[in-house]
Amino acid sequence: MEVKNKLYTAIDTVIIGSGAGGLSAALCLSKAGQRVLVLEQHDVPGGWCHSFYSNGHRFSPGVHYIGLLGEGESTRTLYEGLGIANDLVFFRMNPKGYEHCFIGEERIDLPGNFNDLNTSLGQRFPKEKKRIEHYLKLVRNVSRQIQLIPKMNGFWDNITIPFRTKHMGKYALFSLKRVINWHIKDPLLQKVLNIQWGDHGLSPSRASFPLHCAVMDHYFSGGYYPMGGGAAIVKAMTKALHRNGGTIRTGTAVKHILLEGGKKKKAIGVELENGEKIFASRIISNADPGTTYLKLVKEGNLSTKLRKKLTKTKYSCSSLMLFLTVATDLRKWGMDSGNIWMMDNRDMDSIYEDMTTSDISKGEVFPGLFISCTTLKDPTSYDGKHHCLEVITYINPDSFSKFKKEGKERSMEYMEFKEILTSKMINTLERALPSIREHIVHKELGTPITNMHYLNATNGSVYGTEKCFGQIGPFAFRAKSEIENLYMCGASIQSHGVAGASYSGVQTAATILNCKQDDLIKPDDLQNLRVLDAEDHSDYPKDIQQKIKLRKARLLSNEKNMTFQP
């Protein structure tokens, strides 16, 4: 027994999964002096934040834009507090339209500034001007009041919370559709203000109004994209973790969470797929609840109450992600660093229903797409000839249920199904970029099976648990589990998205260290996050200009080598 104690006290915390939540928790704990080991089943760290290369071009499936990176804003403070800001550069997406709404034949831009958004929408919908001002102010108030909750500390804060969060309390139990229908009358404007439902994956009638407020407010100051894609954030985090004395092991899948005790279970370590056992004082799972409790802990070790909750737990929709390399100047096609949300001009709930219930192989086009050009968001990734597009639509993962047992070698039926869907995705994309298929030099489609294989996501879900009323806030899974010394973090715990998942890791670390989130994340004058303008290259520092030149020079060199015949 003495040997066993030495083994599992040699590591303070084992973290299963290296997504944004797991890495944030690892940074906070290692900074506090803990010995931390992060285990990642994929061959690269990062989870949804990782990047991959296809045909020599980089893609980031889970990082399309991040908000609140201005001076003093929460995501910037997060990166400063984690000690990674000095290793990051972000490009601010087109401030005149970080989001472009293509709704039927209508084209409406969302500026990356609260006042500009107010003015722009007021000019486009003059009869709604006062209602727009009132609604956007309400959205901001509700979101800011949500952010107050984890900061509450002490008797006085708890006494005054009903007054300080009155807007959130008033609308907490209402859907987005109900609240926007009360405040906005123009059907097109309602669609514009609802269009970011894609950032949480729920239709307006099912989405919590406060949740949608948090998403909108996250981008009220604009959208930003990391130089180097999502992998740049992961690289900065892993670098800081190593600096703090932490360790990451990739290609290391966990088979079980090891428990001891009778009725009251206690986590003491993990068993890997290769049979190796690693003992630690505590375990954090960055996997979703289904994977954590049903696959790693096993149902027989859970209480009746938790088993019942897991049975009722719903997971978010899944997606098709089309990764394209095109040999054409997309700026001449009207594209810029802003995202495009392209939807049919009809009820958003109807669109969502079509996306997630219909037979996805039928029909020539999808009812909606998200379109992102990473080489316009990150100018250092553009080689002067090829642009990279990431095109996404949401689907019901049941569409791929017959392929769940696909091995590493995919079946012919699966590959043929992908070809059908790829063609349909390109057909839909051509509504925004006519004849773009003529310029495609490489294409790759990610499916729910891809998400399950590389990210271990239950049903291939893109946002973890579904963000419906009964699964967020006080009804979400907790950082501290019913099993002693087992904790959780990630998109299913506090919030989703890069920033939300990252903050969940901070919250879990704070729970373990018995402190507040703000004790772990503080502004740091020694940290300096660089932010550049994706649309204006004139003021780029020399190191960034050099990166752009080298990227283009590398393409020219490769083309010369290919054409030279000795």
Q: What is the CATH number of the domain that holds 514?
A: 3.50.50.60
Tell whether 557 is covered by a domain.
no
**Statement to judge: residues 308 and 337 lie in one domain:** no
Tell whether 100 is covered by a domain.
no
For residues 380 and 116, give the distance between their C-alpha atoms in angstroms, rounded to a whole number.
28
Tell whether 550 is covered by a domain.
no
Task: Judge contact between 110 and 550, C-beta under 8 A.
Answer: no
Tell whether 559 is covered by a domain.
no
Tell whether 541 is covered by a domain.
no
Longest dimension (CA), the chain: 81
Tell whether 548 is covered by a domain.
no
**Statement to judge: residues 264 and 197 lie in one domain:** no
Domain end among 412, 438, 462: 462
Of the candidates 65, 95, 68, 91, the one whose C-alpha atom is nearest the C-alpha of residue 79 is 68
**Statement to judge: residues 336 and 276 lie in one domain:** no
Give the count of domains, the chain.
Answer: 3
**Statement to judge: residues 185 and 207 lie in one domain:** yes
Single-letter amino acid code for the residue at 335: M
For residues 431 and 236, give the distance between their C-alpha atoms in angstroms, rounded to a whole number.
38
**Statement to judge: residues 490 and 369 lie in one domain:** no
Handedness of CA 330, 332, 333, 336 (dihedral sign): positive
**Statement to judge: residues 384 and 471 lie in one domain:** no
**Statement to judge: residues 294 and 328 lie in one domain:** no
Of the candidates 4, 70, 379, 78, the one whose C-alpha atom is nearest the C-alpha of residue 229 is 379
Tell whether 549 is covered by a domain.
no
Tell whether 108 is covered by a domain.
no
**Statement to judge: residues 210 and 149 lie in one domain:** yes
**Statement to judge: residues 85 and 231 lie in one domain:** yes
DSSP states of 25-63: HHHHHHHTT--EEEE-SSSSS-GGG--EEETTEEE-TT-
Handedness of CA 523, 528, 529, 532 (dihedral sign): positive
Domain end among 186, 202, 220: 220
**Statement to judge: residues 265 and 282 lie in one domain:** yes
> Tens of pLDDT along the chain (566 residues)?
233 333 434 899 999 999 999 999 999 999 999 999 999 999 999 999 999 999 999 999 999 999 999 999 999 999 999 999 999 999 999 999 999 999 999 999 999 999 999 999 999 999 999 999 999 999 998 888 776 555 555 434 444 444 445 555 677 788 999 999 999 999 999 999 999 999 999 999 999 999 999 999 999 999 999 999 999 999 999 999 999 999 999 999 999 999 998 888 999 999 999 999 999 999 999 999 999 999 999 999 999 999 999 999 999 999 999 999 999 999 999 999 999 999 999 999 999 999 988 789 889 999 999 999 999 999 999 999 999 999 999 999 999 999 988 877 899 999 999 999 999 999 999 999 999 999 999 999 999 999 998 888 999 999 999 998 888 888 889 999 999 999 999 999 888 899 999 999 999 999 999 999 999 998 888 999 999 999 999 999 999 999 999 999 988 777 666 554 44
**Statement to judge: residues 198 and 241 lie in one domain:** no
**Statement to judge: residues 405 and 453 lie in one domain:** yes
Q: Give the residue numbers spanning the domain of 142.
A: 113-220
